[in-house]
């Protein structure tokens, strides 16, 4: 008799088992339907006509050039945004200065702007009808409808990833360790290399991997500035669309499977990095 009020009190704090299982079931079904199933569909379509057809699709000249272009774009964007991101995060987390909140807002800008706009701004600036387009043409410099435009648009859309990841981490770690290092006589740069950077190592990896995934997968902004020249200015996502529109479904899904692989690898590294970041925060 005396035990029953207590159990009912416990029950009032947690949901009945049925509800809990129902919630889990809904979540899992949702995941299966909207995430796992499409992913499985990509691979099943890609290997629909066998492994050799799959490989042939990837070895095709235009496909290879789209892969090269995508890797090249990421090779420019990721290091640059790594540099920008670390610099911005360091400034924001470790120093106080006027306009700090404005800077944080600006870093988020690419997240809130539609990728189509991100592409169009470059056409409006560098296009022939744009501000400096005619001057560029006179000097034979090509930005839009060429590789530089694709890289610029990608830098724009991937700008926030590293900074966004580092700012909360650096802020949570505070300035004590840096201040201690400075008091012990380390120079500013020494402090950065020996104290700040090792502390945020996993956060950087996390940001870089997300930045890379987006750089390789960006469609909208790149589509606007690409010009869609076969074998020259088509990135992997654009090439997937072209193949699909040419009724070349197997090849389209084969190339798409590369992006899916990239996503899976990203996911694994992301999980590891996330776990390491948690560990580090707890240690502190």
Nearer to other proteins (CB atom), residue 144 or residue 210 = 144
- Would you state the structure tokens that stand for residue 238, as one six-digit string? 């654009």
CB atoms closer than 10 angstroms to residue 248 = 15
User: CB of residue 233 vs other proteins: minimum separation in angstroms?
Assistant: 8
User: How far apart, in whole angstroms, are the C-alpha atoms of residue 193 and residue 191?
Assistant: 6
Q: Should residue 247 be labelled a site residue for other proteins when binding is judged by CB under 8 A? A: yes
Q: Interface mask (CB under 8 A) for other proteins, residues 126-165, using x and -?
A: xxxxx--x---x----x-xx--------------------
Q: Should residue 220 be labelled a site residue for other proteins when binding is judged by CB under 8 A? A: no
Q: Should residue 232 be labelled a site residue for other proteins when binding is judged by CB under 8 A? A: yes
Number of residues counted as binding other proteins (CB under 8 A)? 22
Spatial CB neighbours of 73, under 8 Å, sequence gap ≥ 6: 147, 150, 151, 154, 215, 216, 235
User: How far apart, in whole angstroms, are the C-alpha atoms of residue 23 and residue 20?
Assistant: 5
Q: Should residue 228 be labelled a site residue for other proteins when binding is judged by CB under 8 A? A: yes
User: How far apart, in whole angstroms, are the C-alpha atoms of residue 60 and residue 50?
Assistant: 16
User: How far apart, in whole angstroms, are the C-alpha atoms of residue 100 and residue 90?
Assistant: 12
Nearer to other proteins (CB atom), residue 77 or residue 123 = 123
CA atoms within 13 A on the CB side of 4: 1
Q: How far is CA 81 from CA 76, 165, 218, 268, in A?
A: 9, 12, 15, 22
Nearer to other proteins (CB atom), residue 104 or residue 242 = 242
Nearer to other proteins (CB atom), residue 17 or residue 245 = 245
- Would you state the structure tokens that stand for residue 240, as one six-digit string? 């997937």
Residue choice 148, 168, 220, 231 for contact with other proteins (CB under 8 A): 231
Q: Interface mask (CB under 8 A) for other proteins, residues 174-213, using x and -?
A: ----------------------------------------
Binding site for other proteins (CB under 8 A): 123, 126-130, 133, 137, 142, 144-145, 227-232, 242, 244-247
């Amino acid at each position: 008799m005396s035990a029953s009020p207590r159990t009912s009190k416990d029950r009032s704090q947690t949901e009945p088992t049925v509800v809990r299982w129902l919630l889990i079931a809904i979540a899992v079904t949702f995941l299966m339907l909207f995430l796992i199933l499409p992913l499985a569909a990509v691979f099943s379509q890609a290997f629909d006509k066998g492994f050799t057809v799959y490989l042939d699709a990837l070895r095709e000249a235009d496909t290879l050039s789209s892969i090269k272009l995508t890797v090249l774009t990421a090779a420019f964007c990721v290091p640059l945004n790594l540099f920008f991101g670390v610099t911005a995060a360091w400034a924001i987390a470790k120093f106080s200065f006027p306009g700090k909140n404005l800077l944080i807002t600006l870093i988020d800008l690419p997240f809130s702007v539609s990728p189509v706009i991100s592409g169009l701004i470059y056409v409006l600036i560098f296009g022939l009808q744009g501000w400096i387009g005619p001057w560029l043409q006179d000097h034979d410099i090509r930005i839009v409808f060429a590789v530089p435009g694709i890289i610029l648009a990608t830098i724009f859309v991937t700008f926030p990833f590293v900074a966004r990841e580092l700012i909360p981490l650096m802020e949570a770690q505070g300035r004590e360790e840096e201040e201690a290092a400075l008091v012990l006589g380390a120079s500013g740069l020494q402090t950065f290399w020996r104290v700040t950077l090792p502390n945020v190592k996993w956060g950087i990896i996390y940001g870089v991997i997300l930045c890379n995934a987006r750089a390789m997968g960006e469609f909208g902004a790149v589509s606007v500035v690409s010009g869609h020249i076969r074998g020259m200015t088509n990135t992997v996502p654009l090439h997937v669309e072209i193949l699909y529109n040419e009724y070349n479904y197997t090849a389209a899904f084969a190339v798409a499977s590369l992006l899916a692989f990239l996503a899976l690898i990203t996911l694994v590294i992301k999980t590891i990095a996330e776990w390491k970041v948690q560990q580090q925060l707890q240690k502190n």
